[in-house]
Amino acid sequence: MGKKLSFRAIVVLGNENGQVGVGVGKADDVVNAFKKAKADGRKNLIKIPITKSLSIPHRVVGNFGACKLIMRPSIEGSGVIAGGSVRTVLEVAGIKNVIAKQLGSNNILNNARAAIVALGSLTTKSQVAKKTRLTLD
């Protein structure tokens, strides 16, 4: 009676031009776990706004599980100041200048998902203007 071994793969997919997604797959071998994670990541792709200075438009907070993530736009040339899976998500999304801080848990998957939640809640000036126009009319 041995232990049954299985592998979990966490994959971050993106086009470095405003699209990013996180996928998770679990299987008996690494290759199949990776394939499942890749398929899951493709289903969960989101589009995010990026400024001309390759940063985020405004400060944002993302929560997922016990993880809290704070992201702030940064000046051009500062680079991605973030740790762990958050750095990976930001780089794959194409964001080059941002400051991020993980609070709470150090769980890789939950921090990646908190980053996706934060990036998903970003809005542009034109989106805000449309919303205010709709409420004023």
Residue 21 lies in a domain: yes
Domain hosting 59: range is 7-123
Residue 75 lies in a domain: yes
Residue 134 lies in a domain: no
With H, G, I as helix, E, B as strand and everything else as coil, classify residue 102. strand
In the numeric block, the tokens 């899951």 are attached to: 40
pLDDT in tens, the chain (137 residues): 678 899 999 999 999 898 999 999 999 999 999 999 999 999 989 999 988 888 999 999 999 999 999 999 999 989 999 988 999 999 999 999 999 999 999 999 999 999 999 999 988 777 777 777 766 65
Cβ atoms of 71 and 95 closer than 8 Å? no
Residue 131 lies in a domain: no
Residue 108 lies in a domain: yes
**What span, in angstroms and rounded, lies between the C-alpha atoms of 49 and 53?**
12
**What span, in angstroms and rounded, lies between the C-alpha atoms of 41 and 60?**
23
The region, left, alpha or beta by phi > 0 then psi within -120 to 50, assigned to residue 69 is beta
Residue 135 lies in a domain: no
Q: Which two tokens stand for residue 36?
A: 């499942």
Residue 1 lies in a domain: no
The full DSSP string for 120-136 is: HT---HHHHHHHHHHHH
* Share above pLDDT 90 across residues of the chain, in percent, rounded to a whole number: 72
Residue 128 lies in a domain: no
Residue 30 belongs to a domain with what CATH number?
3.30.230.10
Residues with Cβ within 8 Å of 56's Cβ and at least 6 positions away in sequence, in order, are 48, 49, 50, 71, 72, 73, 95, 98, 119, 122
| Count of domains forming the chain | 1
**What span, in angstroms and rounded, lies between the C-alpha atoms of 46 and 113?**
12
Q: Which two tokens stand for residue 129?
A: 């203007």
Q: What is the pTM of this model?
A: 0.87
Tell me the pairing of strands 19-27 and 60-64.
unpaired
